Every structure is written in C-alpha cells, then in structure tokens.
C-alpha cells in the first residue's frame, strides 16, 4: 500500500474540515501522478486506520472524490482512481508558442474618454474627520441582517429567490415598503407604485432616462448633488441652475424660467438640500406642485435623508400631496443602514414603474433578491424602525456636541447654521482661510476635510462636515486636529 499517512497529511489546527483536507491532498497526489490513474485505493476501514481518522471521514472523502469525478467505485471490486481524470486542459487557439502573450496595455480601438464623468470618487479612507455626511456603519444591524440572510438561504421553499425574478424587485419587499412609506411618509401607495433600485443613484438614473431625452431642459439647484448632474448631462439635457436660500430652492426663479421656456424636469433634494442641508418650506412645496401642473414638468424628489431629523418634525414629501402624478419620489435605505447594502426605491404612478422594470432589465437584469428579502423581513419585524431610532438619538447627540465645539473653537473662522437634520453641517470658512489649502494640509495631519470642490457650483470656501459617523471622542479628536491645521 502507498504511504497514505505521509501523502495525505492532516493539519488538525486548520479550519478546513479534515475530510476536505484529505480530499484536496488526494487530488493533488493524483494530479502529480503519485497516485496513478487506475490505482486501487484502500477500503475506508483500512485508510481510516492508517490516517487515524474516523471511518466516516474517509467515507465522506470518497463521496466527495466520487462526485468530483476523481475516483470510480466498481461494485464487488473496490474503489479506483479514474482512468479519465476530470481535469481538462483547455485547448489553445493557436499552438504557435507556449508562452502566453502579454496582455495589451491599451485598447487597440480608440475610445473617447468621457471627461464629464472624470471626477474624484470618494471612498472610505483611514482618516478620521469630516466626511460628506455618511452614517456610522459600526451601528448597522449586521448581526440580525446576516442571520436573516442565512435563514432565507436555508429555506428550501424560497429556492426560487436564487433564480431570475421580477425586474421591479422582490415582491415582498415592494409590499412591505409600500406599507412602511405610507406610515412614515404619508404616501398612499401600493406595491405597484414601487420599483426597487440599488440606492438613490440608480433611482435617479432610471427616472431620468425614462423622463428625459436629449435637448430637454432640466432645472437643478445651484449647488447640487454632483452625481445627479452627471446623470442628466450624460443624457444630453440642458441644465438650468436655480439658487437656494434659507427656505430651499427659489420657486420664484423656477416660475420665471417656466414662463420663458418649456421645462421637462425639476430635480430637488427637498428634505435636506444637498449640500446646504436647508429644508424646503411647506409653502414652497405647495407652490412647486402647482407650478408642475401648470407648466407640465415632472418633479424628481430625492429624499435621501428624510429619516434623520432632530429638532422639528419632518415635512412630508411633495409626493404625499401629489394628486396629479407630477412627482417621482426616490429614496434609499443606504443612509439608514449602510452604503454597502444598496437597496433603494422609486415611487411613482404605475405606468412609470413598469417602464423602470423594462429598463432595469438591460442594466443589470434584477436586484439582489436575497438581500431584498432580508431587508423586507427587517422592516416587517420592526428592526429598521428600532435601528433608526437608536441611530437618530446618537446622531442628535453628535450633532449637538459637534456644533458646540465648532462654535466655541472657531468663532472667527467658520460660520454655519445648526442643521435640523441629516448627517452633516454646511460650513463656510472665512476668506483668510483657503479651504483647498486647508484640505491638503489636513490630509497631511491625518484629518479628512472636504475642499468644497465637489458641489458643482461657484460657491467658495464652503464644505459639508459630516458628524454622524464619528463618536464623541472621535469628534473631539478631529476638532483638535482641525485647530492644529488652522493655526
């Protein structure tokens, strides 16, 4: 007999199950030819004794090798290494040379670089400090989420979720969400009014593509969420920019534009304008709805952080008062839970939702139905509400703490208004500080500070300073670093 105990060494500290270790080693030795094709293998009892493992372990190994096609079992004869090994060497297209050609450095055909999209992409770094207004992912209910995820995968009656499904999203999530949005946002909708997306960006992308065509005129705030502007510009529309004051986007300016030309769409971040955090007043909301009906333009309402408000009550979205079907409402769970779980939604009259489903199909076919199912169960069981309440309380505390420090330490350098909600402060740095220089200097000191260049506008020396993702200690640390940088 071959010296199997040497050939098939076992590491009992390893996290790989023993039977898999034996299997993998066996395959290795077969591939090397040490255990040749056609070799008769010892019976399970004999091998288990030699390897000092339980006989069941060897049986499991043989089963695994059998399924993978490495061995054959011939009744009354025994177990043999397959004559025809399952390892297949792919056929080369050209046998001219054995050295694979180096992979090309550049496409051979010319592609036009899409400079419109060439902007720095913010990603998670290792610096502490002031991000763009991200949630604290350390609070995310990952334990219950991953448990739910696993349970769903284990339910045999839900194997269907592993296949192709509805392009408009998991039906159960659409139902649960209709109910949740009715309760939390006063939207009297049914699941037919919801298309699940992968976050707000995809919501805006789909809606914009359905509503706009090249040459259309789209009104956006000046400043605005840059990804939205990029999406519109990609479609070849003309952007018209309207200022924002302390009540939100200027409705008078919008009316003036409407009198002069035909507007196709207005994009607004109503609850907390991005980047300035201003809430659009109730009175302006009503006027916007009237203007939309009067001048026949669609409103794309991006309510990305409705869930986070600290002092006053939130104002219900425009969509909740839209009786004429002028508003397409876009939201997301990414701020509520974590950006990684990309689940968002479009709310709109059914004819638009159907188009969204068709369009989605040629983008990525469908969402992640398992994750969507898990989210639905989290919402149905009240986990989302519970989590939001906790997060809101903590963020409220952090906002207060951060704003106090900002006011006390930088009274002569930074001006800001305490935001009513959201996850960031809109800060204006006084002229003698150049924000671009400061941002670079901060980076050197290990502090994250925006340079104010990412809001697609002409505002100078202003930036968002996120407070929600840092705990009190980290906020204090960041403030001290900022003192050093600004000294």
Site for its own copies in 100-159 (CB under 8 A): 100-109, 111-114, 117-118, 121-124, 134, 137-138, 140, 142-143, 145-147, 149-150, 153-154, 159
CB of 266 to its own copies, least distance (A): 11
Task: Give the footprint of its own copies on residues 232-251 (CB under 8 A).
Answer: 234
Neighbours of 320 (CB within 10 A): 19
CB of 164 to its own copies, least distance (A): 5
User: CB-side exposure of 284: number of CA atoms within 13 Å?
Assistant: 20
Residue 31's nearest CA partner among 73, 81, 105 is: 81
Question: According to the 3-state scheme, what is the secondary structure of 427-458?
Answer: EEECCCCCHHHHHHHHHHCCEECCCCCCCCCC
Distance CA 341, CA 332 (A): 10
Task: Give the footprint of its own copies on residues 252-271 (CB under 8 A).
Answer: 264
Q: How many residues bind its own copies (CB under 8 A)?
A: 131
Judged by beta carbon, residue 95 or residue 431, the one nearer its own copies is 95
CB of 47 to its own copies, least distance (A): 21
Question: Which residue in the set 21, 57, 79, 167 belongs to the binding site for its own copies (CB under 8 A)?
Answer: 167
CB of 412 to its own copies, least distance (A): 34
Site string for its own copies, 280-319 (x = CB under 8 A): --x--xx-----xx--xxx----------x--xxxxx-x-
Judged by beta carbon, residue 73 or residue 437, the one nearer its own copies is 73
User: Angle at which helices 44-51 and 55-68 pack, to 10 degrees?
Assistant: 120
Q: Which strands form 265-268's sheet, in the order they lie side by side? A: 194-197, 344-347, 327-332, 298-302, 265-268, 217-222, 238-245, 248-249
Element (H, E) at 302: strand 298-302
CB distance 355 to 367 below 8 Å: no
Would you call 266 helix, strand, or coil by DSSP? strand
CB of 182 to its own copies, least distance (A): 8
CB of 322 to its own copies, least distance (A): 7
Q: Which part of the chain contacts its own copies (CB under 8 A), choosing from 50-58, 360-368, 448-456, 470-478? A: 360-368
Site string for its own copies, 81-100 (x = CB under 8 A): -----x-xxxxxxx-----x
Q: 437 to each of 30, 443, 444, 453, how far by Cα in Å? A: 63, 10, 11, 12
CB of 439 to its own copies, least distance (A): 18
Task: Give the footprint of its own copies on residues 327-356 (CB under 8 A).
Answer: 328, 338-342, 348-352, 355
């Amino acid at each position: 007999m071959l010296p199997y105990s040497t050939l098939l060494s076992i590491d009992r500290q390893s996290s790989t199950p023993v039977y898999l270790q034996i299997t993998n080693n066996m395959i290795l030795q077969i591939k090397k030819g040490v255990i040749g094709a056609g070799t008769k293998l010892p019976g399970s009892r004999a091998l288990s004794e030699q390897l000092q493992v339980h006989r069941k372990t060897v049986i499991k190994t043989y089963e695994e090798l059998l399924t993978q096609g490495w061995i054959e079992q011939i009744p009354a004869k025994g177990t043999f290494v397959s004559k025809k090994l399952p390892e297949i060497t792919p056929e080369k297209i050209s046998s001219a040379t054995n050295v694979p050609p180096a992979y090309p450095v550049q496409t051979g055909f010319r592609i036009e670089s899409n400079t419109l999209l060439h902007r720095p992409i913010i990603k998670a770094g290792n610096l502490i400090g002031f991000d763009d207004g991200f949630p604290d992912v350390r609070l995310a209910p990952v334990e219950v989420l991953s448990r739910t995820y696993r349970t769903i995968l284990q339910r045999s009656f839900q194997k269907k979720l592993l296949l192709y499904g509805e392009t408009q999203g998991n039906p159960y999530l659409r139902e649960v969400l209709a109910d949740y949005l009715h309760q939390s946002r006063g939207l009297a909708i049914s699941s037919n009014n919801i298309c699940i997306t992968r976050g707000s960006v995809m919501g805006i992308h789909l809606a914009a593509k359905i509503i706009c065509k090249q040459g259309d005129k789209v009104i956006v705030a000046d400043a605005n969420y840059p990804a939205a502007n990029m999406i519109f510009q990609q479609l070849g529309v003309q952007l018209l920019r309207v200022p924002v004051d302390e009540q939100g986007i200027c409705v008078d300016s919008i009316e003036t534009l409407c009198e002069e030309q035909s507007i196709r769409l207005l994009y607004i971040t109503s609850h907390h304008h991005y980047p300035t955090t201003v809430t659009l007043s109730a009175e302006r909301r009503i006027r916007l709805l009237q203007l939309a009906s009067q001048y026949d333009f669609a409103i794309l309402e991006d309510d990305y952080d409705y869930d986070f408000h600290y002092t006053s009550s939130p104002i219900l979205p425009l969509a909740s008062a839209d009786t004429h079907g002028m508003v397409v409402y876009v939201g997301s769970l990414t701020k509520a839970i974590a950006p990684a779980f990309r689940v968002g939604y479009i709310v709109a009259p059914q004819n638009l939702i159907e188009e969204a489903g068709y369009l989605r199909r040629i983008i990525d076919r469908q969402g992640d139905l398992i994750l969507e199912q898990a989210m639905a169960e989290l919402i149905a069981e009240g986990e989302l509400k519970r989590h939001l309440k906790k997060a809101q309380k903590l963020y409220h505390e952090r906002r207060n703490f951060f704003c106090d420090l900002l006011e006390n330490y930088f009274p002569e350098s930074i001006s800001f208004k305490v935001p009513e909600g959201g996850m960031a402060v809109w800060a204006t740095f006084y002229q003698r500080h150049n924000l671009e220089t400061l941002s670079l200097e901060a980076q050197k000191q290990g502090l994250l500070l925006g340079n104010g260049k990412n809001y697609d506008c002409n505002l100078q020396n202003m930036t968002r300073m996120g407070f929600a993702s840092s705990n009190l200690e980290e906020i204090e640390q960041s403030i001290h670093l900022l003192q050093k940088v600004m000294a």
